[in-house]
Structure 1
Amino acid sequence: MMVVLIIIILFVLLLIDFKLGRRQHHRHARKLSFEQTTADYTLFKNGSPMYEKLFNDIYQATTQVDVFFYLIDKDYISRNFLQVLKNKAKEGVPVRLLADRLGSYRLNKQIRQELEDAGVEFRFAEVPTFPYLFYKLQRRNHRKIAIIDGEIGYVGGFNIGKNYIGQSSKFRDWRDYHLRCTGRMVKELHEVMLDDWDLATGEKIEALESPDTGSQNVRIVATDGVGLEDELKEMIDRAEQELMIGTPYFIPTERLMGALEDALQRGVELYIMVPLKSDHPFVKEAGIPYLNRLYRLGANVGFFDAGFYHAKVVIVDGQLADLGTANFDRRSLFLNKEVNTFIYEKPFIDNLRDMYLEDFEDTIPFDDHWLRNRSAGTRINEKIAVLLRPFL
């Protein structure tokens, strides 16, 4: 009886912590607003070529290197990445590295000391503190941004580690999307990264001026657990013919579900692609009821099984694409710091759409056959996941 009472008291205290923490978060959310600007960009969907290009761009830097990654692992890819940064700092080029405190927990004291000894300025972002410790443990900076000399920017879904080049026995090939960009968009990405640096260090640094170039219209959307739901709903509402969603975690709000159901009812062809394998407990099971509702209304739903699907993409009528760091889940909507890029270039979107459909052809259909044959463990986890949705 005493154990049950203690559990109940603990649960109530955590709930109070979460609610008060969210209230404080919303009062102090960082708001970064950007209009359409211009850029030229290259898309990477595999980690190896992206790392090769990123490392080489850092190697050639002459002015300044500013990098943020949510997750930096502790393996040979990560060591190579950190060594490139250390080498550049030793040349006298200012190098700043920011990483999420929980996502990059493997960066131990020894690694951090080696970075400091080489001249790299390193800080953790989103370090959980009192008050509202439980809530702050949920709040993560999920962005991935690199800025080289104020001229080249990287943004997208890849973190740093060997998993992201397909060297995982569990996940094999890792599907993701990452952009390398030049033009005015780079300064705006730099402003996002330096705002995170300011929050972590108290040091205000001006973003470097980027070349006034770029032939394509883009818009940066930086969110802090506020505003992303509005952006996604607006995209869904504008769909007239086709809507494609790719995400590793599909746990929408009822507001977004209503928008998706309305889209299906007005004749929009809806595609949703999620991974068959999950990299976190309960996230796949939490999405099943939502996928089932949309499937019943005619949505095309598929489980990607040619590796792990980590890409975050929304394509509307072949006219607008959203690529970035935000997942289609409650964490990205209401807890995490994210950064996305809205793209309007038709040839680029056509190519992205073709890649999406090529992957979708390899999916396992979400249908009555799959539902009937899902395991007892999956069914049990679906029930548990209902209680965990706010944290998923």
Structure 2
Amino acid sequence: MTYIWLATRVLLLLMVLDVVPLFRSVSWDVVGVYHGWHETMLAGGFPVEDVTWQYPPAAALIILAPSMLPFSYLGGFLVITVAFDALTMASLVRAAAAGEGRGRAGAWVWLLGVPLLGPVVYARFDLLVAALAVSGLLQLNASAWRGGLSFGVAAGLKLWPALALIGVPRGRATRMALVGAVAGAAVSTLLMLLALDGGLDFVTAQQDRGVEVESVWALGFHVARWFGWPGVVSYNYGSMEMLGPYVDTVGRVSLAATLLCLCWLLYWRYRARTWSDATPYDAACAAVLLFVVTSRVISPQYLVWLVGLTAACLTVRASTQRPVAVLVLAATAVTMIEFPELFDDVQKSTALGVTVLLVRNGLLVAAAVLSCLRLWRATVPRPLAAGQYDPGLSPA
């Protein structure tokens, strides 16, 4: 396993550095965008004039960190990313040996799933956020407070890890996890708010976004372009988006769908009665899958979130998410084909581009539905049929 990790990660590094040009160069986000933000932050403020800055204040920690190492900015970023990758791999292997009912399937998912996304996984900071979320899940059993702390720090970088709290067992564990999450998010956020100006501008940064071309919601517009829809694909708010008639309406529908899914998750938590060691992991996976498929934006690097969460799930043999992990890995492989090599086809809504996107998004939707169904069936008791005898209700 160690040798496979080393071989695949060396290959990823060589591809990001364009030494092995199997894909188009993906390093611009680091050497251009991230480094540009870094220079602005060194001057004392967040890059609020740049519409591509859409992150919570604590994300500045990641942007500033590479310059603290004795390498180029790209070199420092890659060293940090590889270190987080290695620590996550080690944590998953250690979790597999934690006791009875644990297994190494989760470690294999991370080992193979990360390189399956291609070089983009090392050219975005999402792997670091996923690593913190995985760490939070793996620490929950030993210490709900420490697990919550990891979730809080991760949510300070990107908001989605807060969803992982949905599966924490009721009672004291939930209270301690919430305290840890609030502490982690508050400390990391306040640190950056005190250090830099303009930290709260991210709250309204995405309100005018369109529908990103790779999202589930964009599929209808891709097909509509074949029949004369007058909209266009244009660079907007840091990504290629659909702009034109009905896009605002679909964007509002996507937000409503996300809200409905959040309501379903709360309802599931209210109804759930059977809690196992796997439930916190399985619930986190289901929650983030719902968020991804209902979002108006799906960027390629989002798949590393799902790889990390399904890896955490599969450290427990009782997890309900094994078939979901297969679907996620398949979607990750298709994403590597779709971006960056076929991204032009996606932007032009060619038959090839739309087909690849339909397969990838179809796999993600199927994974989300299956994840929720299996989570529900494993945790929510079925109602008794009329006349069915329940020995638990018999008199003493």
Per residue, is there more helix in 1 or in 2? 2
Per residue, is there more strand in 1 or in 2? 1
Report the TM-score range of the alignment, normalised by the length of the smaller protein: under 0.3
- Relative to the length of structure 2, the TM-score reads 0.26
- Relative to the length of structure 1, the TM-score reads 0.26
